[in-house]
Amino acid sequence: MSRGRNQESYSATSIAVGAVPMIEMVGNRNIMVEGSTGILLYESENIKINTNKMVVSFSGRNLTVRCISNSCVEITGFITKVEFMT
């Protein structure tokens, strides 16, 4: 049976080389995004983070970027919605 594009699973190698972002959530209060290529929007209600293959949008209240480095962004706040825009 052939698998469609939506059903394609990402291998560990693709995560390791940063082809796809790795998102780690602690409840809905803390999110760590690895594989970021930049912040596209920074507001207290919405933060959009660019990655290689998609834009990840986080909506919520009192959102702040706690820490930012070359490929990693940590977001804290009350997160209500996560969107993936390809």
Q: For binding to other proteins (CB under 8 A), which residues are involved?
A: 38-44, 63-70
Closest contact distance (angstroms) between CB of 61 and other proteins is 12
- Taking the C-alpha atoms of residue 40 and residue 59, their distance in angstroms, rounded to an integer, is 13
Residues 33, 53 contacting (CB under 8 angstroms): no
Strands 22-26 and 72-85: unpaired
Q: 13 vs 43, which CB is nearer to other proteins?
A: 43
Q: 2 vs 51, which CB is nearer to other proteins?
A: 51
For the chain, give me the number of helices (H) and strands (E)?
1, 6
Q: 17 vs 67, which CB is nearer to other proteins?
A: 67
Closest contact distance (angstroms) between CB of 65 and other proteins is 5
